[in-house]
Structure 1
Amino acid sequence: MSGELHVHKVGKAYRKWGSEWSRVGSWLGLPCLPVEEHWVLQDVSFSILPGQAVGVIGQNGAGKSTLLKIITGTTQPTGGTVDRAGRIAAILELGMGFNPDLTGRENAFHSAGLMGYGEAEIHAAMDAIEAFAEIGEYFDQPMRMYSSGMQVRVAFSVATAFRPDLLIVDEALSVGDSYFQHKSFDRIRQFREEGISIMLVTHSMADVKSICDRAILLDKGSVVRDGSPDEVVDFYNALIAQKENAMLSIEQRREKNGWVLTRSGTREATVNSLRLVDAATGEPQSMVRTGQRVRLELEALAHADVPRLVLGYMIRDKQGNVVWGSNTWHTGDVVEDLRPGQRVRYALDFECVLGPGSYSVSPALVSSDTHMLDNYEWVDNLLVFDVMNADRHVFIGSTWLDAKFSVAKGDVDDMPVPHSS
């Protein structure tokens, strides 16, 4: 089917040979062993079905760029197969395939030709490519005069000027101004709505959660997670901390309420209990009204000597977007010199200004303003609660504002601006 991609047991090794004869012999299938061998990809398998949007994440050096080059055919795998169906449009390394001595227009024509489009099709699309890129007179200037952001504008405009079956976007969109990034992602979302398959390689976890149906985590050249974006992103965050501390453990499971609980840490201190209560009555709350005063109550338990303990919170919506977060490092409420068996009780009072929907609370027990130094325990989505609008005017969005309209009517142009009392 159009837009399908199947990657089966793909591996890529870079080898150093003792002589050119050994290299040629390996091409002919002779038993020649390399002097050195470095595998950047090993046994990578996954599929993208028509209409799916899949994010690929991982730290630098995980093998993401090599995988994309193999998928697009610019690099051959050492082992495994890649099966593609339909027309692919790809934006890979910045400036890849561009000639710096050609103009933006000439490079656009050349790139579209390499994508398989005919001369008449390219001429018909050129005005739209130029308009979307928005680089003015530079479009007819040599590309060596372009900034990195301008190169991205031309590359993205060409790749998306035609309707591909599969759109592959690498980190190139992270270069340039925020205006064009928003404009580009609007087009990506439009393609997704039209049923075009998308493969997005990015370091932006928010983009993965907002655009993608699935996420794939690469680490050291292998697929370590393939699943829902919230599950894979939370595991990735814990994995980064684990690399800083080999004693850190990671546990992950999907709860009955649909949220993924990810627990990581070295467990010198742990969350003993967490609950959300009404600030006035102390009654536990699973459903909160917009405008209600509530309190988060958490008890932490030390299992070893903890010189410094910091509690952090993140509140996220159902899509995984952080709507609020802070910690006691920033507020100056650090607890020091805990001994094994000692407990610390925290209370956080606030007015719920959230819009109707489902939200989660993720606590973290650390020693500073980051979990990279000491991650005693971090639990994504430990507490889940719902918000309803019972007595406020109807509004949309995730945040309620104490906003009031004031209206004045008249026939003159110099009427004073009305002010609410």
Structure 2
Amino acid sequence: MSADVLRVTELGKAFRDYGSEFKRFASWFGAKVKVREEHWVVRDISFSVGCGEAIGIVGQNGAGKSTLLKLVTRTLMPTKGSVEVNGRVAAILELGMGFSPDLTGRQNVYHAAGLMGFSREQIDAAMSEIERFAEIGNYFDEHVRTYSSGMQMRVAFSVATAFRPDILIVDEALSVGDAYFQHKCFKRIREFREQGTSLMIVSHDSSAIQSLCDRAILLQAGRVLKDGEPVEVMDAYNALIAERENSTVKTERLRDGQLQTISGTLEAVVESIHLYTESGQSVEFVDVGQAVELRIGVILKADIPRLVFGYLIKDRLGQAIFGTNTHHTKQVLAEVKAGQRVTYRVRFPMNLGPGTYSISTALVSTDTHLVDNYEWRDLAFVFTVANHSHPHFVGNAWIPPEFEVTAI
């Protein structure tokens, strides 16, 4: 990495209630005014972003994610700390980027790009590409008040990325777009990254964070809870979501260096997990398409009225490949007693592409770990798939085709 394009130091933002506008006004000029109420939304945040680096910002609602981005883009002024930016910033923080509903899409492009510092000649030169990328047809010359939220996002993203920035900052506005346009947006973001643009993105989409980002930052109550590898941060985020009263979250560094996250009340826990071949051999290396059995041993630490077991296969980036549970297969156990042991056997063909994968396990009461999370265990088992017996292919799924070729 070369020099940092963004450096945030001890950043904090407090919203204060002075009791009257006169006292607030007096505070601007340095007068010592007693604050009636003070609420810190962001506090003591420090991090840096290198040239070409991508950072994901995650956290639950109210964690301070959007406020942090507004402080970085200087649409909000900090109460304390500093933000140093070296380069041009393009940001999509809120749907429509402040578009006027009484102007057309084209007129709003001139207005928004002008505020970004571009001349009329530069905007004219880029206008046809902005219009082409947005793909809203004749609506481009209609008033924005007639637009759907998805159309507003199309124009907003098109103008924000018409000129490659040094730093691209994207809030969750992309989530309102249709699937086709989201793919276009992420393709452009990846192209910018290849050209050296740094990225800060807020998203609840773990796949987007893990596929786009080099690092992720987890915010909780306005502070940095974790800053590190996207897979580890997303595991911690999922554990945080699942955490309930009397539950625990613990992490452990495994022998291969990966950080395992376990959360839940631990009223039921996984005590063993192995992968077997059809002949009963325990393995960690599997051939593409090979029939296997995943065998999980569970022990009950308390009486549980309803027990559901689920598993999730992830690739090396932490993205979900396949998952299901006994709620969906209608094999729920009822009235399980403390001290009982349960064995789950899951048989399936290993129709995955070559690579390293991990299995996460969940012991819950329903189809989700957000109700009763007895135990959620990331990196419960790691295995490798190799292609020993099939023609070469690429990708993370083995979908054998039958070709029919006719030459005329």
1:219 is matched with 220
Residues 83-133 of structure 1: per-residue CA shift (max 9 Å, x gap): 111000111111232122222111111111111112221111111111111
| DSSP 3-state at the match of 1:398 | coil
Query: Is the 1:5–1:48 contact (alpha carbons within 8 Å) kept by the matching residues of 2?
Result: yes
1:375 is matched with 373
Q: Which moved more, 1:394-403 or 1:26-35?
A: 26-35
Matches within 5 A, 1:160-309: 160-242=161-243, 245-279=244-278, 281-309=279-307
Q: Which moved more, 1:66-75 or 1:228-237?
A: 66-75
CA distance in 2, matches of 1:19, 1:372: 43
Matches within 5 A, 1:374-413: 374-409=372-407, 411=408
- Select 1:333's aligned residue among 312, 322, 331: 331
- 1:176 is displaced (CA, Å) by 2.3
Residues 260-300 of structure 1: per-residue CA shift (max 9 Å, x gap): 31111111111111011112x21110100112111111110
- 1:391 is displaced (CA, Å) by 0.8
Matches within 5 A, 1:100-119: 100-119=101-120
1:419 is matched with none
| DSSP 3-state at the match of 1:382 | strand
CA distance in 2, matches of 1:19, 1:337: 59
| DSSP 3-state at the match of 1:329 | coil
Letter in 1 for 2:276: V
Residues 155-212 of structure 1: per-residue CA shift (max 9 Å, x gap): 1111111111001111111112111111011000111111110111111111001101
1:31 is matched with 32
CA distance in 1, matches of 2:268, 2:31: 58
| DSSP 3-state at the match of 1:128 | helix
- 1:3 is displaced (CA, Å) by 6.6
- 1:21 is displaced (CA, Å) by 3.4
Instruction: Structure 1 unaligned segments of length 5 or more: list them.
Output: 412-421
CA distance in 2, matches of 1:178, 1:330: 26
- 1:2 is displaced (CA, Å) by 7.3
Matches within 5 A, 1:78-93: 78-93=79-94
Residues 129-161 of structure 1: per-residue CA shift (max 9 Å, x gap): 111111112212222222211111111111111
Instruction: Structure 2 unaligned segments of length 5 or more: list them.
Output: none
CA distance in 2, matches of 1:126, 1:355: 43
Query: Is the 2:57–2:201 contact (alpha carbons within 8 Å) kept by the matching residues of 1?
Result: yes
- 1:19 is displaced (CA, Å) by 2.6
| DSSP 3-state at the match of 1:124 | helix
- 1:367 is displaced (CA, Å) by 1.3
CA distance in 1, matches of 2:336, 2:64: 42
Identical-residue share of aligned pairs (%): 54
- 1:24 is displaced (CA, Å) by 2.7
Letter in 1 for 2:248: S
CA distance in 1, matches of 2:126, 2:362: 51
CA distance in 1, matches of 2:7, 2:265: 38
CA distance in 2, matches of 1:26, 1:224: 32
Query: Is the 1:3–1:51 contact (alpha carbons within 8 Å) kept by the matching residues of 2?
Result: no
Query: Is the 2:97–2:112 contact (alpha carbons within 8 Å) kept by the matching residues of 1?
Result: no
Q: TM-score by structure 1 length?
A: 0.93
C-alpha RMSD of the superposition: 1.5
CA distance in 1, matches of 2:289, 2:150: 44
CA distance in 2, matches of 1:233, 1:200: 14
Matches within 5 A, 1:133-152: 133-152=134-153
Query: Is the 1:13–1:39 contact (alpha carbons within 8 Å) kept by the matching residues of 2?
Result: yes
| DSSP 3-state at the match of 2:207 | helix
Q: TM-score by structure 2 length?
A: 0.96
| DSSP 3-state at the match of 2:327 | helix
| Number of equivalences | 407
Query: Is the 1:88–1:164 contact (alpha carbons within 8 Å) kept by the matching residues of 2?
Result: yes
Matches within 5 A, 1:32-51: 32-51=33-52
Residues 276-326 of structure 1: per-residue CA shift (max 9 Å, x gap): 1112x2111010011211111111011111222111000111111211111
Letter in 1 for 2:256: N
| DSSP 3-state at the match of 1:381 | strand
CA distance in 2, matches of 1:40, 1:146: 33
Residues 7-38 of structure 1: per-residue CA shift (max 9 Å, x gap): 11111111111233322332233331221221
Q: CA 1:3 to 1:189, structure 2 compared with 1: closer, same or farther past 3 Å?
A: farther
The structure with the larger Rg is 1
Q: CA 1:211 to 1:138, structure 2 compared with 1: closer, same or farther past 3 Å?
A: same
CA distance in 2, matches of 1:39, 1:315: 39
2:5 is matched with 4
CA distance in 2, matches of 1:378, 1:136: 48
| DSSP 3-state at the match of 2:94 | coil
| DSSP 3-state at the match of 1:7 | strand
Query: Is the 2:4–2:48 contact (alpha carbons within 8 Å) kept by the matching residues of 1?
Result: no
CA distance in 1, matches of 2:197, 2:261: 32
CA distance in 2, matches of 1:256, 1:128: 51
- 1:254 is displaced (CA, Å) by 3.8
CA distance in 2, matches of 1:22, 1:147: 42
- 1:258 is displaced (CA, Å) by 4.5
Query: Is the 1:3–1:196 contact (alpha carbons within 8 Å) kept by the matching residues of 2?
Result: no
| DSSP 3-state at the match of 1:29 | coil
CA distance in 2, matches of 1:391, 1:144: 59
CA distance in 1, matches of 2:195, 2:75: 28
